Structure 1
Amino acid sequence: MQTVSVAQAKAQLSALLDAVQAGEKIIITRRGQAVARLRTEQPAKPDFSVFRQFRGTWKDGMRIDRDALHERG
Protein backbone atom coordinates (compact mmCIF):
# COMPACT_ATOMS: atom_id res chain seq x y z
CA MET A 1 0.00 0.00 0.00
CA GLN A 2 1.41 3.34 -1.07
CA THR A 3 0.93 6.57 0.92
CA VAL A 4 1.05 10.01 -0.72
CA SER A 5 0.28 13.55 0.36
CA VAL A 6 -2.49 15.62 -1.18
CA ALA A 7 0.10 17.69 -3.07
CA GLN A 8 1.73 14.55 -4.48
CA ALA A 9 -1.66 13.13 -5.43
CA LYS A 10 -2.58 16.30 -7.30
CA ALA A 11 0.74 16.30 -9.16
CA GLN A 12 0.71 12.56 -9.98
CA LEU A 13 -2.98 11.73 -10.32
CA SER A 14 -2.68 9.92 -13.66
CA ALA A 15 0.19 7.76 -12.43
CA LEU A 16 -1.68 6.99 -9.21
CA LEU A 17 -4.78 5.96 -11.16
CA ASP A 18 -2.62 3.67 -13.31
CA ALA A 19 -1.24 2.08 -10.11
CA VAL A 20 -4.76 1.64 -8.71
CA GLN A 21 -5.92 0.08 -11.96
CA ALA A 22 -3.00 -2.35 -11.65
CA GLY A 23 -4.35 -3.41 -8.23
CA GLU A 24 -2.42 -1.19 -5.80
CA LYS A 25 -4.18 0.58 -2.93
CA ILE A 26 -3.16 4.16 -2.21
CA ILE A 27 -3.73 6.26 0.91
CA ILE A 28 -3.85 10.05 0.55
CA THR A 29 -2.78 12.03 3.59
CA ARG A 30 -3.19 15.62 4.71
CA ARG A 31 -0.76 16.84 7.35
CA GLY A 32 0.19 13.25 8.07
CA GLN A 33 -3.38 12.03 8.63
CA ALA A 34 -5.06 9.61 6.21
CA VAL A 35 -8.03 11.33 4.55
CA ALA A 36 -8.79 9.15 1.51
CA ARG A 37 -8.12 5.75 0.01
CA LEU A 38 -7.85 4.98 -3.69
CA ARG A 39 -8.75 1.46 -4.77
CA THR A 40 -10.32 -0.19 -7.76
CA GLU A 41 -14.06 0.19 -8.15
CA GLN A 42 -15.98 -3.03 -7.65
CA PRO A 43 -18.58 -3.51 -10.38
CA ALA A 44 -22.10 -3.24 -9.04
CA LYS A 45 -24.07 -6.46 -8.98
CA PRO A 46 -27.39 -6.13 -10.80
CA ASP A 47 -30.52 -6.32 -8.66
CA PHE A 48 -32.84 -8.90 -10.21
CA SER A 49 -35.23 -9.09 -7.27
CA VAL A 50 -37.90 -7.11 -9.12
CA PHE A 51 -37.94 -9.76 -11.86
CA ARG A 52 -38.24 -12.57 -9.30
CA GLN A 53 -41.43 -10.88 -8.11
CA PHE A 54 -43.01 -11.42 -11.55
CA ARG A 55 -41.55 -14.89 -12.24
CA GLY A 56 -44.18 -17.32 -13.47
CA THR A 57 -46.91 -14.69 -13.73
CA TRP A 58 -46.41 -13.62 -17.33
CA LYS A 59 -49.46 -14.01 -19.56
CA ASP A 60 -49.94 -13.19 -23.23
CA GLY A 61 -50.44 -9.46 -23.69
CA MET A 62 -49.39 -8.70 -20.12
CA ARG A 63 -47.39 -5.53 -19.58
CA ILE A 64 -45.26 -4.58 -16.61
CA ASP A 65 -45.62 -0.99 -15.53
CA ARG A 66 -42.30 0.89 -15.53
CA ASP A 67 -43.06 2.34 -12.11
CA ALA A 68 -43.61 -1.17 -10.73
CA LEU A 69 -40.18 -2.21 -12.00
CA HIS A 70 -38.48 0.64 -10.15
CA GLU A 71 -40.51 0.26 -6.98
CA ARG A 72 -38.47 -0.74 -3.95
CA GLY A 73 -40.34 -2.24 -1.12
Structure 2
Amino acid sequence: MRIINLSPLGLMCRSDERVSVGERVTVWLPLVQDMPADIRWVEDGRIGMEFIEPIKPRIYDALMALIPPRRTAW
Protein backbone atom coordinates (compact mmCIF):
# COMPACT_ATOMS: atom_id res chain seq x y z
CA MET A 1 0.00 0.00 0.00
CA ARG A 2 1.28 3.46 -0.89
CA ILE A 3 -0.44 6.45 0.69
CA ILE A 4 -1.21 9.17 -1.86
CA ASN A 5 -3.19 11.57 0.31
CA LEU A 6 -3.59 11.77 4.09
CA SER A 7 -5.95 13.94 6.13
CA PRO A 8 -7.05 13.82 9.77
CA LEU A 9 -10.26 12.08 8.62
CA GLY A 10 -8.85 9.43 6.28
CA LEU A 11 -6.58 8.60 3.39
CA MET A 12 -6.33 7.62 -0.24
CA CYS A 13 -3.84 4.97 -1.24
CA ARG A 14 -2.77 2.80 -4.15
CA SER A 15 -2.84 -0.91 -3.50
CA ASP A 16 -3.11 -4.25 -5.29
CA GLU A 17 -5.02 -5.69 -2.32
CA ARG A 18 -8.65 -6.61 -2.89
CA VAL A 19 -10.96 -4.80 -0.49
CA SER A 20 -14.67 -4.02 -0.56
CA VAL A 21 -16.58 -0.85 0.21
CA GLY A 22 -17.77 -1.03 3.82
CA GLU A 23 -14.94 -3.34 4.91
CA ARG A 24 -13.13 -2.38 8.12
CA VAL A 25 -9.33 -2.43 7.94
CA THR A 26 -6.47 -1.38 10.18
CA VAL A 27 -3.76 0.90 8.79
CA TRP A 28 -0.39 1.31 10.52
CA LEU A 29 0.86 4.91 10.61
CA PRO A 30 3.95 6.29 12.33
CA LEU A 31 3.20 7.97 15.67
CA VAL A 32 -0.35 6.61 15.87
CA GLN A 33 0.35 2.93 15.12
CA ASP A 34 -2.86 1.05 14.26
CA MET A 35 -5.69 3.18 12.82
CA PRO A 36 -9.02 1.42 12.21
CA ALA A 37 -10.72 2.67 9.05
CA ASP A 38 -13.71 1.87 6.86
CA ILE A 39 -13.27 1.48 3.09
CA ARG A 40 -15.44 4.17 1.46
CA TRP A 41 -14.56 3.66 -2.22
CA VAL A 42 -12.37 1.53 -4.50
CA GLU A 43 -11.46 2.53 -8.07
CA ASP A 44 -8.66 1.59 -10.49
CA GLY A 45 -6.21 0.42 -7.82
CA ARG A 46 -6.99 3.34 -5.53
CA ILE A 47 -8.74 3.02 -2.18
CA GLY A 48 -10.42 5.70 -0.07
CA MET A 49 -10.64 5.10 3.67
CA GLU A 50 -12.27 7.00 6.52
CA PHE A 51 -10.71 6.65 9.97
CA ILE A 52 -13.06 5.55 12.75
CA GLU A 53 -11.55 8.27 14.98
CA PRO A 54 -9.90 11.32 13.37
CA ILE A 55 -6.19 11.89 13.90
CA LYS A 56 -5.70 14.58 16.54
CA PRO A 57 -4.40 17.87 15.06
CA ARG A 58 -1.12 17.79 17.00
CA ILE A 59 -0.40 14.22 15.85
CA TYR A 60 -1.43 15.01 12.26
CA ASP A 61 1.00 17.96 12.17
CA ALA A 62 3.78 15.69 13.47
CA LEU A 63 2.96 13.09 10.78
CA MET A 64 3.13 15.74 8.06
CA ALA A 65 6.53 16.84 9.36
CA LEU A 66 7.84 13.29 8.72
CA ILE A 67 7.11 13.50 4.98
CA PRO A 68 10.11 14.71 2.97
CA PRO A 69 9.51 17.70 0.69
CA ARG A 70 8.59 16.85 -2.90
CA ARG A 71 11.12 17.64 -5.57
CA THR A 72 10.06 19.48 -8.66
CA ALA A 73 11.03 18.49 -12.18
CA TRP A 74 12.85 21.77 -12.78
Q: TM-score, normalised by structure 2?
A: 0.23
Q: Which has the larger radius of gyration?
A: 1
Q: Structure with the greater relative contact order (CA < 8 A, sep ≥ 6): 1 or 2?
A: 2
